[in-house]
């Protein structure tokens, strides 16, 4: 039988077996999942970007690919 795939819970770093019965994967529990969600909602976590969208004055000039039209 092959080794079971394991990951660390992103919140508490507890080892989690990656299988269908692990309901909260990659988290170890509902509590850790909600802590992570709260960090995203509170903007403690964010995806970095090279561009600050809030600095753009005219949103209507942004094309679908997010480049400013000239």
CATH of the domain at 16: 3.30.50.10
Structural domain of residue 36, as residue ranges? 1-45
pLDDT at 68 over 90: no
Provide the annotated binding site.
9, 12, 28, 32
pLDDT at 50: 73
61 within a domain of the structure (yes/no): no
For 21-66, how does the pLDDT look when each residue is reduced to its tens digit (9 = 90+)?
Answer: 999 999 999 999 999 999 999 999 888 877 666 666 665 665 666 5
Question: What total number of domains does the chain contain?
Answer: 1
30 within a domain of the structure (yes/no): yes
Query: DSSP labels for 3-70?
Result: PPPEEE-TTT--EEE-STT-TTTTSSSHHHHHHHHHHHHTTSS----SS-GGG-S-GGGB-TTSPBP-
For 4-28, how does the pLDDT look when each residue is reduced to its tens digit (9 = 90+)?
Answer: 999 999 999 999 999 999 999 999 9
Provide the annotated binding site for Zn(2+).
9, 12, 28, 32
33 within a domain of the structure (yes/no): yes
């Amino acid at each position: 039988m092959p080794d079971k795939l394991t990951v660390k819970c992103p919140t508490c770093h507890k080892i989690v077996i990656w299988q269908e019965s692990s309901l909260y994967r990659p988290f170890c529990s509902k509590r850790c999942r909600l802590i992570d969600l709260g960090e995203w909602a509170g903007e403690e976590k964010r995806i970095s970007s090279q561009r600050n969208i809030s600095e753009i004055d005219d949103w209507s000039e942004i094309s679908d690919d997010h480049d400013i039209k000239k």
